[in-house]
Amino acid sequence: KQEVTQIPAALSVPEGENLVLNCSFTDSAIYNLQWFRQDPGKGLTSLLLIQSSQREQTSGRLNASLDKSSGRSTLYIAASQPGDSATYLCARIATVDSNYQLIWGAGTKLIIKP
Amino acid sequence: DTAVSQTPKYLVTQMGNDKSIKCEQNLGHDTMYWYKQDSKKFLKIMFSYNNKELIINETVPNRFSPKSPDKAHLNLHINSLELGDSAVYFCASSQASGNSPLHFGNGTRLTVT
């Protein structure tokens, strides 16, 4: 069974701290992995996409890494801000029989305290 | 028993045509979305729509218009199709709280020739 697990389920930290969100998957034949943030009522915002051949991607204060051998991806957020408060989801994206298959983690709810 | 279903699965059409993609969800969710997946498999939100508000992404051309006859349906109409519209389009739904996971349809692969 293909699964994506995100730990922790919730995280609350003071503003300014650096933090790491974890995503693990059981299928090493990953295609792409994408990190999203979800704000209430606004759907998903794509953050970073790591293709299967890549090891990391960076955008501003965000850095996402991918280690297929260990089945893990991490999202590093530097110098956290209250505006970073959201639910962060990772999704494994694969092509199965010409169908795009997205396997989602349950998300990590992040609260940054001012 | 599909939760979020979208049709057609494949759509091949010529430039300049007008086409529609239909989406239906039987989960009782209040919010539905349309996403576009580009050639690098990057998902970008196009629209989100709930009972109260339609949110339009500014980067989406006005040739794209969502239409929701009821909260279980959100169809995507595309006028004057262009080559760059070729992509996979995903419909999704969730509870309005935003803390519930999104449920995605299987995608519609649109090819404009």
* pLDDT given for residue A2 in this prediction: 57
Confidence category of residue A23, pLDDT binned at 50, 70, 90? very high
Per-residue CA distances from A76 to A20, A23, A110, B51 (Å) = 5, 11, 12, 35
Determine, for residues B43 and A46 on separate chains, whether the beta-carbon distance falls below 8 Å: yes
Instruction: Tell me what pLDDT residue B15 has.
Output: 97
Torsion of CA A69, A70, A71, A75, to 10 degrees: -110
Nearest-angstrom CA–CA distance, A17 and B75: 43
User: Could you tell me which residue, A103 or A80, shows the higher pLDDT?
Assistant: A80
When pLDDT is averaged across residues A71-86 and rounded to a whole number, the result is: 95
Give chain B's residues under pLDDT 70. Answer: 1-2, 38-43, 52, 55-58, 96-102
pLDDT the model gives residue B97: 45
Q: Do A87 and B106 touch (CB under 8 A)?
A: no
Option in A40, A46, A100 nearest B97 (CB): A40
pLDDT of residue A88: 92
* Beta carbons of B42 and A49 less than 8 Å apart: yes
* The pairing of beta strand B31-37 with beta strand B87-94: antiparallel
Chain A environment of B35 (Cβ under 8 Å): 43-44
Percentage of chain A with pLDDT > 70?
A: 82
pLDDT score at A99: 45
* Lowest mean pLDDT, pick from A20-24, A52-56, B17-21: A52-56
Give the number of other CB atoms < 10 A from CB of residue A23: 25
CB B64 within 8 A of CB B77: yes
| A/B interface, count of CB pairs below 8 Å | 67
DSSP state of B102: P
**Bigger pLDDT: A107 vs B80:** B80
Contact A100 B106 (CB under 8 A): yes
